[in-house]
Amino acid sequence: MLLDVLRLTDEVKRMNKDIERVESIMLDVDKRVVRLETIVEIAKSQGGQPKLPKK
């Protein structure tokens, strides 16, 4: 029983570290999305549309 509790505690600690790492990654992605949204909104307000290179 005690060993099971210790294993569970270790697993919870490991999962907490994983969640913190994923949270950090998600915050970075969120910041990038906000920047992209800002760029799109600025481009829309200026009436310009990006020109794609012809292949």
Domain positions in the chain: 1-44
Higher local confidence (pLDDT), 49 or 17: 17
| Position 18 pLDDT exceeds 90 | yes
Amino acid at 49: Q
pTM confidence score: 0.61
In angstroms, the CA 24 to CA 21 distance is 5
| Position 49 pLDDT exceeds 70 | no
Amino acid at 5: V
Split at pLDDT 50, 70, 90, the class of 36 is very high
Q: What angle do CA 27, 29, 30 make, to 5 degrees?
A: 60
Split at pLDDT 50, 70, 90, the class of 23 is very high
